[in-house]
Structure 1
Amino acid sequence: MTSAETGTERRRRMPRAERERQMMTIAEAVFSERGYAATSMDEIAERVGVSKPMIYEYFGSKEGLLVACIRQVRSELQELTAQAVIGAQSPEEALRRGLVTFFQFTDEHRRSWELLLRTETAVVGPAAVAEIEAARQEQIKLHIALFSAYMPGADQLVLEATAEILVGACERLSVWYVRHDDVTPEEAAEHIMRMTWFGLRGEVQRHEGHSE
């Protein structure tokens, strides 16, 4: 058996889930380096060490591969932020924990975060745009659930608006944050806390007073 045949056989034996993860890891890096429009499936296939038709077989299209990458980022971020607030003793602690975890994610997974931030909505398809928005909506729902736990009976529109503002602020500050290696996740979180917690604290205290 030739070395080429041996390599081909080894690729065939890799479990599908493991192969998908390998493809997405490499694709994520290429998308982040080059941007969606400039990324070629040929380069991704070459880096993975498989044929281009195999990638199409797994993901259907370049957009399908991008969507899979974004979905994985979205799932990881959602799980990390949800876990971070478990056991918090106050709404302030819960919010700060969630924010620090968010900025730690952007710091430790810069390729993943850049993939979300740098995806050009003008050139990607609707499925990728929808997946990016779904990532935002998951974070918004998480914040609404957190606020609701500490502000029972609060107006739903107020909760929704507050969550939208917070997620938007985090996203924009993260763009600034990844350009400043001298800023820690905790310091970035404090910038958001100073701008948002003052108003939130008043709402929490008002609803705590009503519940007595």
Structure 2
Amino acid sequence: MTTPQSRAGTKGMPRAERERQLLAAATEEFGRHGYEATTVAAVAARVGVTKPLLHQYFGSKQDLYLACLTPVGDGLLDAVRTAMAAHGPGAPPTPLRVLHGLFTALEGRRDAWFVLYDATLPPGSVAARRAASYRAAVDDLAATGTAELLHGAGFDDPLDADALTYAWRGLATALVRWWIHHPEQTPEAMTERCARLFAAGRAIVAADGP
């Protein structure tokens, strides 16, 4: 008996599985090369399907990008929200919880961070607006967290909080970029490394005085 076309992909593979393969390949292509340099042909070739089949599944290149962006953006937001809510006695500091949540969410698809933070998206496009909305939501969470940290340390200048939010985004991006080049590093190892770096930073500042 043959499998109905509506329920299977090429070569008898179930359509849902083929779609997962295509999304995984597209996420990596967009994350590594950026929207502008990524082609539908390259994504199709990686999975061994034709361009028409990929278009049949996902539509245009922008539609394919959006199909990749949504699970990435939702996953990162969920990770940050969960980490920020997990405070309590004995819990690691908020920055380490958030970083561990991000590393865990990105494990197996580390390049996905750069699907969200893609500078090559066409200005004013649906893709650019959707990515910007996710980034704004991440920034809102970061702003809340940094304001709380500064307030707890006795600093309430809103510009300090704003500056720290920008610095935090840059730090997270830099750490993910370093992590991509060190595939042997697990999310747990990365979190431990960040804890050591933060401790070293505090020691350096304390040694230099106010």
Common topology (TM > 0.5):
yes
Task: Assess if the C-alpha contact under 8 Å between 1:144 and 1:163 holds in 2.
Answer: yes
Please state how far the C-alpha of 1:76 moved relative to its aligned partner: 0.3
Q: Percent identity?
A: 26
Distance (Å, rounded) in 2 between the aligned partners of 1:133 and 1:94: 24
| TM-score, normalization by structure 2 | 0.65
Alignment of 1:1-212 (within 5 A): 6=3, 8-11=5-8, 23-32=22-31, 36-45=35-44, 47=47, 52=52, 55-56=54-55, 59-89=58-88, 93-116=93-116, 119=118, 121=120, 124-126=121-123, 127=125, 128-149=127-148, 151=151, 154-181=156-183, 183=185, 184-190=189-195, 193-194=198-199
How many residue pairs were aligned?
Answer: 190
Task: Assess if the C-alpha contact under 8 Å between 1:32 and 1:114 holds in 2.
Answer: yes
SS in 1 for 2:182: coil
Partner of 2:208: none
| TM-score, normalization by structure 1 | 0.65
Distance (Å, rounded) in 1 between the aligned partners of 2:76 and 2:26: 18
> Which range moved further: 132-141 or 145-154?
145-154
Name the CA shift for 1:125/1:168 in 2 (closer, same or farther; >3 Å).
same
Please state how far the C-alpha of 1:173 moved relative to its aligned partner: 2.5
Please state how far the C-alpha of 1:93 moved relative to its aligned partner: 1.5
Name the CA shift for 1:87/1:105 in 2 (closer, same or farther; >3 Å).
closer
> Which range moved further: 75-84 or 144-153?
144-153
> Which range moved further: 176-185 or 29-38?
29-38
Task: Assess if the C-alpha contact under 8 Å between 2:44 and 2:54 holds in 1.
Answer: yes
Superposed CA offset, 1:82-128 (max 9, x none): 112223137972222112222333444324235446x451xx32333
Distance (Å, rounded) in 1 between the aligned partners of 2:31 and 2:75: 17
> Please, which runs of 5 or more residues in structure 1 have no aligned partner?
199-212
Distance (Å, rounded) in 2 between the aligned partners of 1:55 and 1:181: 29
Please state how far the C-alpha of 1:144 moved relative to its aligned partner: 1.9
SS in 2 for 1:85: helix
RMSD, matched Cα: 4.0
